């Protein structure tokens, strides 16, 4: 018998006027000791599935229907007191954001001990001893001392370790990890995922890994359930899913991944439209409205689950792929050729933006008189240039200074030292009035468009604002320009009357893009423009950015922590570490033949949506955590985490020198260069 058997689970969330069918009849099983992945986009019901197992539903959540058997006991039949004994004892859970899930007024040790004391009736000292024990189990350095720390004293990665320790304190049989690494940096993400994997093996527990990231799931899960609109649409082993997806939705998701596009140099496939409204789900196949292969029967009735010859389960009338790849392939002609279309190659012109030795220090002040007691070195001597029509990508962990570079270029922050020239004019030397005029030429696209738009303004006013400020043309010409922009970013002109909160994430990002385009800039600085979006929506925005670049000869400075996205959009990639540019060069060269150890480590650390590659990864990637920028390490700033560091790295800072002839530069004493 399986450890966990979920059968025909239905969960509803009541809103003010309607009811959302968040989970609509799903069934799956988890065997002891295995890792099950649940993958889906936001709103697909994956978190609600996890919460239903724990019976921790948000306000308005009705008690789930169906059955959830854990070790032969139906959790849905238990009363609240019995269920409380199951939570944290038989089933442990890790949440997305460790900061909000930990009580800020209690020490880590006490919080872990609390659950031991509740479930095992342990005494105060016994509980604390157990806390220290599990903290060392999850790889927390000096657990005795850390147990006495408060959550804010720990870094994000350490907090997530504490969360895991808490979930494991009573040795649960099942661990539910809901997006356990989404709030963490890639280098830390890898460490945490490896930790969960190792603990699963050692403690023999089962893990349900809930995530939106196809890369995370590829290397970790034994079986994968793909969810869409409250249903499981496909369920099979990880290898089979990635090698041979049968449901068109899964296939479309893979086609939307930027690494696929970057490998083949083609446009990304983007799933048209939006997921259905789950307050009134369609009685037919829920994906039919967005499906490339949809037929009349898909729109008329609900496809039942089917199992093919190799045990691959899916719910589709017209599955893609074949049961056995070696068997005869079914010929499928696509009406939409976008996914094989060649990408437009922009023509590179002369240098547009030249950044030289850019430095930004933030002072740390103390006391009433605001005496300066130190400074945070956010950007320390960064130089690069962007040519007309070129996209330069900037990658790095959070805290590496990439967003500060963006703010300096668009003029939201003043530089401490260094020069920036736009078409020969030194931006830092301009008077404020002229700087304002120049700001037309450089526009910023924000990560969170919702936060970047005044909630009390209609999007018409939002998009018109840069034109009003810069006094471009008269009223009619501004109106005409707005309509034109909306058409370009693929939104109907009637949507101009709406407020920002009425749009979905992807649509808002389009509005944000329209606003950035409004004053006809030469350079758009895009700060993480797609990191808040789902994969299928992300590809729409990326395609749009590429199209309009070719059309208008725009240059982009594309900032992201996601190397695969940066590689897809960029001509050149710069890698930043702790305020320094450590490597810059042509996108393919940086990606396939990195010179700096940090770049190498980043590449090894980022999860790839391919189980073969993921499982074959031998190196552990980058270890440890980012040092403080208040007292950055001497010499090479990466030396504290570098596998090749020697004495010289601590004494002299390596200069950025060219390797080869294609403009590939790196700053390392011991480069990876044959």
Partner 1 sequence: MDEIVVESPGQGDNIPPTEQMLGLEPTESARSMFRRGLEVFLENRLAVVAFGVLVFYVLMCFFGPLLYHGNTSHVQMDEITLPPGPSHPLGTDQNGVDELGKLMKAGQISLEIGIASGVLASVIGMLYGAIAGYVGGWVDSIMMRTIDALLSIPLIFALIYLASTLGRTKTVFIMVIALTSWFSLTRLTRGDTLTIKVRDYVAACRMMGGRSPRIIFRHILPNTIGTTIVNTSLSIANSVFALSVLSYIGLGLQAPNDDWGGMFANGSSYLDQNYWWMIYPPGVSIVLIIISCNFIGDALRDAFETRLQKR
Enumerate binding residues for partner 1 (CB under 8 A): 15-17, 270, 272-274, 277, 292-295, 317-318, 322, 330, 332-336, 338, 410-412, 435-437, 439-440, 443-444, 446, 448, 451-457, 465-466, 469-470, 486-487, 490-495, 497-499, 501-504, 507, 515, 519, 540, 543-544, 547
Minimum distance between the CB of residue 592 and partner 1, rounded to whole angstroms? 29
Residue 424: other Cβ atoms inside 10 A? 9
* First-last CA distance in the chain: 55
Minimum distance between the CB of residue 342 and partner 1, rounded to whole angstroms? 15
d(CA 11, CA 403): 40
Nearer to partner 1, 417 or 451 (CB): 451
Minimum distance between the CB of residue 362 and partner 1, rounded to whole angstroms? 14
Nearer to partner 1, 57 or 274 (CB): 274
Minimum distance between the CB of residue 357 and partner 1, rounded to whole angstroms? 23
d(CA 624, CA 641): 6
Minimum distance between the CB of residue 457 and partner 1, rounded to whole angstroms? 8
d(CA 150, CA 105): 7
Nearer to partner 1, 430 or 650 (CB): 430
d(CA 483, CA 463): 10
User: Do the Cβ atoms of 249 and 327 come closer than 8 Å?
Assistant: no
Minimum distance between the CB of residue 655 and partner 1, rounded to whole angstroms? 33
- In our burial notation (b when 16+ CB lie closer than 10 A, e otherwise), range 3-12 reads bbbbeebbbb
Nearer to partner 1, 440 or 617 (CB): 440
Minimum distance between the CB of residue 528 and partner 1, rounded to whole angstroms? 12
d(CA 108, CA 515): 45
Concatenated DSSP letters of 292-339: TT--HHHHHSPPPPEE-TTS-EE--SS-SS-SSTTSPPPP---S--GG
Minimum distance between the CB of residue 176 and partner 1, rounded to whole angstroms? 29
Which among 188, 133, 122 has a CA at the least distance from the CA of 165? 133
Nearer to partner 1, 331 or 474 (CB): 331
Minimum distance between the CB of residue 429 and partner 1, rounded to whole angstroms? 17
Nearer to partner 1, 126 or 308 (CB): 308
Q: Are strands 371-387 and 580-586 parallel, antiparallel or unpaired?
A: unpaired
d(CA 535, CA 271): 9
Minimum distance between the CB of residue 486 and partner 1, rounded to whole angstroms? 8
Nearer to partner 1, 171 or 336 (CB): 336
Nearer to partner 1, 89 or 543 (CB): 543
Minimum distance between the CB of residue 15 and partner 1, rounded to whole angstroms? 6
Minimum distance between the CB of residue 325 and partner 1, rounded to whole angstroms? 14
Minimum distance between the CB of residue 187 and partner 1, rounded to whole angstroms? 27
Nearer to partner 1, 109 or 519 (CB): 519
Q: Which two tokens stand for residue 621?
A: 């990637």
Nearer to partner 1, 500 or 607 (CB): 500
What is the layout of strands, in order, in the sheet containing 371-387?
371-387, 351-366, 417-422, 425-426
Beta bridge partners of 91: 87, 174
| Three-state SS annotation for 583-652 | EEEEHHHHHHCCCCHHHHHHHHHCCCCCHHHHHHCCCCCCCCCCCCCCCCCCCCCCHHHCCCCCHHHHHC
Minimum distance between the CB of residue 446 and partner 1, rounded to whole angstroms? 5
Nearer to partner 1, 3 or 268 (CB): 268
Nearer to partner 1, 452 or 565 (CB): 452
Residue 57: other Cβ atoms inside 10 A? 17
d(CA 269, CA 257): 8
Minimum distance between the CB of residue 540 and partner 1, rounded to whole angstroms? 7
Nearer to partner 1, 171 or 277 (CB): 277
d(CA 475, CA 127): 70
Which among 247, 254, 286 has a CA at the least distance from the CA of 270? 254
- In our burial notation (b when 16+ CB lie closer than 10 A, e otherwise), range 319-357 reads bbbeeeeeeeeeeeeeeeeebeeebeebeeeebbbbbee
d(CA 409, CA 355): 9
Nearer to partner 1, 115 or 447 (CB): 447
- 3-class secondary-structure state, position 4: strand
φ, ψ for residue 147, nearest 5 deg = -65, -25
Nearer to partner 1, 410 or 559 (CB): 410
Q: Are strands 664-666 and 657-659 parallel, antiparallel or unpaired?
A: antiparallel
Alpha-carbon distance values, 605 to 190, 192, 543, 574, 601 (Å): 6, 11, 26, 17, 6
Minimum distance between the CB of residue 459 and partner 1, rounded to whole angstroms? 12
- Measured torsion, CA atoms of residues 605, 609, 611, 612, in degrees rounded to the nearest 10: -80
Minimum distance between the CB of residue 451 and partner 1, rounded to whole angstroms? 4
Nearer to partner 1, 74 or 487 (CB): 487
Concatenated DSSP letters of 78-102: S-HHHHHHHBTTTEEEE-S-HHHHS
Beta bridge partners of 4: 30, 70
Nearer to partner 1, 73 or 436 (CB): 436
d(CA 64, CA 25): 10
- Measured torsion, CA atoms of residues 164, 170, 175, 178, in degrees rounded to the nearest 10: -40
């Amino acid at each position: 018998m399986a450890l966990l058997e979920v059968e025909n689970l239905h969960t509803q969330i009541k809103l003010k006027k309607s009811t959302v069918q968040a989970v609509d009849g799903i069934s799956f099983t988890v065997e002891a000791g295995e890792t099950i992945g649940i993958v889906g986009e936001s709103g697909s019901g994956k978190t609600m599935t996890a919460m239903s197992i724990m019976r921790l539903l948000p306000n308005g959540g009705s008690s789930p229907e169906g059955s959830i058997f854990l070790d032969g006991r139906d959790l849905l039949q238990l009363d609240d007191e019995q269920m409380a004994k199951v939570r944290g004892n038989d089933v442990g859970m890790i949440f997305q954001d460790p900061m909000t899930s930990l009580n800020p007024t209690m020490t880590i040790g006490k919080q872990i001990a609390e659950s031991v004391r509740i479930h095992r009736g342990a005494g105060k000292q016994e509980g604390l001893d157990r806390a220290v024990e599990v903290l060392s189990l999850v790889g927390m350095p000096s657990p005795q001392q850390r147990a006495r720390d408060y959550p804010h004293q720990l870094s994000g990665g350490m907090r997530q370790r504490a969360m895991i320790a808490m979930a494991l304190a009573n040795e649960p049989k099942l661990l539910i990890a809901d997006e356990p690494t989404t709030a963490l940096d890639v280098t830390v993400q890898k460490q945490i995922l490896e930790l969960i994997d190792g603990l699963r093996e050692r403690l023999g527990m089962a893990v349900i890994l809930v995530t939106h990231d196809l890369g995370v799931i590829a290397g970790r899960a034994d079986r994968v359930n793909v969810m869409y609109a409250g249903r499981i649409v496909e369920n099979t082993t990880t290898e089979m899913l990635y090698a041979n997806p049968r449901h068109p939705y899964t296939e479309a998701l893979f086609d939307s991944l930027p690494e696929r596009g970057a490998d083949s140099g083609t446009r990304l496939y983007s799933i048209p439209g939006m997921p259905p409204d789950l307050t009134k789900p369609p009685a037919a196949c829920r994906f039919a409205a967005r499906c490339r292969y949809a037929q009349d029967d898909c729109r008329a009735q609900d496809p039942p689950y089917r199992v093919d010859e190799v045990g691959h389960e899916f719910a589709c009338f017209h599955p893609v792929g074949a049961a056995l790849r070696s068997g005869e392939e079914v010929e499928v002609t696509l009406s939409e050729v976008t996914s094989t279309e060649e990408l437009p190659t922009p023509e590179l012109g002369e240098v547009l933006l030249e950044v030289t030795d850019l430095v930004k220090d933030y002072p740390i002040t103390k006391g009433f008189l605001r005496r300066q007691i130190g400074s945070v070195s956010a950007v320390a001597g960064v130089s690069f240039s962007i040519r007309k029509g070129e996209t330069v990508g900037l990658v790095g962990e959070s805290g590496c200074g990439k967003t500060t570079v963006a703010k300096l270029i668009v003029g939201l922050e003043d530089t401490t030292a260094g020069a920036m020239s736009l078409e020969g004019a030194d931006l830092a030397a301009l008077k404020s009035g002229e700087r304002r005029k120049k700001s037309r030429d450089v526009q910023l696209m924000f990560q969170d468009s919702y936060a970047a738009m005044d909630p009390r303004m209609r999007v018409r006013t939002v998009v018109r604002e840069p034109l009003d400020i810069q006094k471009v043309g008269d009223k009619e010409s501004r109106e005409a320009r707005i309509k034109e922009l909306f058409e370009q970013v693929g939104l109907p002109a009637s949507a101009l009357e709406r407020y920002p909160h009425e749009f979905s994430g992807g649509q808002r990002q389009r509005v944000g893009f329209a606003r950035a385009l409004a004053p006809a800039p030469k350079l758009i600085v895009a700060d993480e423009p797609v990191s808040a979006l789902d994969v299928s929506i992300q590809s729409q925005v990326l395609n749009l950015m590429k199209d309009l670049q070719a059309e208008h000869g725009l240059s982009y400075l594309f900032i992201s922590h996601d190397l695969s996205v940066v590689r897809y959009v960029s001509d050149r990639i710069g890698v930043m570490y702790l305020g320094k540019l450590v490597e810059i060069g042509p996108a393919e060269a940086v990606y396939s033949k990195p010179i700096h150890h940090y770049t190498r480590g980043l590449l090894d650390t980022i999860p790839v949506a391919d189980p073969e590659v993921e499982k074959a990864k031998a190196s552990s990637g980058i270890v440890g955590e980012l040092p403080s920028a208040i007292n950055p390490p001497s010499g090479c700033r990466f030396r504290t985490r570098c596998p090749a560091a020697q004495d010289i790295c601590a004494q002299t800072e390596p200069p950025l020198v060219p390797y080869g002839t294609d403009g590939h530069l790196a700053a390392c004493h011991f480069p990876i260069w044959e």
